[in-house]
């Protein structure tokens, strides 16, 4: 849950919708760049396992008299590429199935085993966990990119106006008053208002009460916009 900030509008600086719109656009651009960089980095880190296994099979062909797969010698890149074809799908499947808790679940699962067997099982899980760093970064980056894409239809000027009203009024507002702002900006239908509100919540700029009757600005969101 994002940290909530509540302050008095009398002492707070006024914020314009136009200024906030510029900051929202910068936030979108920075968000995409940041998670795209994580995705690329994750793709590179994902190569740890294939490089290890590919190198092992590459060295093995020389130990076997220079004969590799199909009784031919193959390059190091060939072996690494072949390892990618079977190893990477397995890694992504494991990451999807374990939801990032492989090592944690393994440690809990070996609690009844002996120290010798349990230690080796945990060691193997730790190696796989390291290999899962890359797929985890990739899947995280993809999810974030998809999440922002789902909000592409959100009216940014409307979202900026709603955010400005919340910042200038200070304390959390009844959601009906924020909806009134949307009506004043020509976004009075439930769809446009819901899209704009969902977009702000996606970036953790605002949060809504459990009963759904009040909305407020999050302090984490203020810091992201550079107005904390």
Which pLDDT value is given to residue 100? Answer: 77
Residues 159 and 137 in one domain: no
Residue 201 lies in a domain: yes
Tens of pLDDT, residue by residue over 132-170, are 889 999 999 999 999 999 998 899 999 999 999 888 887
With beta carbons less than 8 A apart as the criterion, state whether 221 and 210 touch.
no
Residue 7 lies in a domain: no
The number of residues in the chain equals: 228
Q: What is the CATH number of the domain that holds 165?
A: 1.10.10.10
* Pairing mode, strands 173-174 and 206-208: unpaired
Which pLDDT value is given to residue 82? Answer: 92
With beta carbons less than 8 A apart as the criterion, state whether 163 and 205 touch.
yes
Whole-model pTM? 0.72
Considering just the CA atoms, what is the radius of gyration of the chain in Å? 25
Backbone angles phi, psi at 6, to 5 degrees: -135, 130
Number of H helices, E strands in the chain: 10, 3
Encoded tokens for 37: 């960089």
Average pLDDT value for residue range 111-124: 73
- Which of 7, 3, 1, 2 has the alpha carbon at shortest distance from 166? 7
Domain range spanning residue 59?
46-148
Which pLDDT value is given to residue 186? Answer: 62
Q: Which residue has tokens 């890149």?
A: 77
């Amino acid at each position: 849950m994002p940290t909530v900030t509540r302050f008095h509008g009398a002492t707070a600086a006024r914020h314009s919708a136009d200024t906030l719109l510029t900051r929202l656009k910068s936030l979108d651009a920075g968000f995409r760049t940041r998670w795209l960089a994580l995705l690329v980095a994750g793709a590179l880190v994902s190569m740890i396992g294939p490089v290890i296994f590919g190198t092992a099979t590459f060295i093995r062909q020389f130990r076997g008299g220079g004969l590799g797969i199909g009784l031919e010698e193959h390059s190091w890149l060939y072996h690494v590429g072949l390892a990618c074809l079977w190893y990477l799908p397995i890694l992504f499947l494991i990451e999807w199935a374990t939801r990032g808790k492989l090592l944690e679940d393994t440690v809990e699962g070996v609690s009844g085993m002996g120290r010798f067997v349990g230690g080796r099982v945990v060691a193997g899980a730790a190696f796989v966990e390291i290999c899962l760093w890359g797929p985890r970064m990739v899947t995280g980056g993809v999810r974030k990119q998809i999440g922002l894409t789902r909000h592409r239809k959100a009216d940014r000027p409307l979202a900026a106006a709603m955010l400005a009203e919340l910042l200038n009024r200070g304390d959390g507002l009844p959601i009906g008053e924020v909806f009134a702002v949307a009506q004043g900006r020509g976004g009075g239908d439930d769809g446009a208002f819901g899209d704009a509100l969902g977009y702000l919540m996606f970036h953790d700029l605002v949060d809504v009460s459990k009963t759904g009757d009040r909305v407020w600005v999050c302090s984490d969101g203020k810091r992201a916009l550079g107005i904390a």
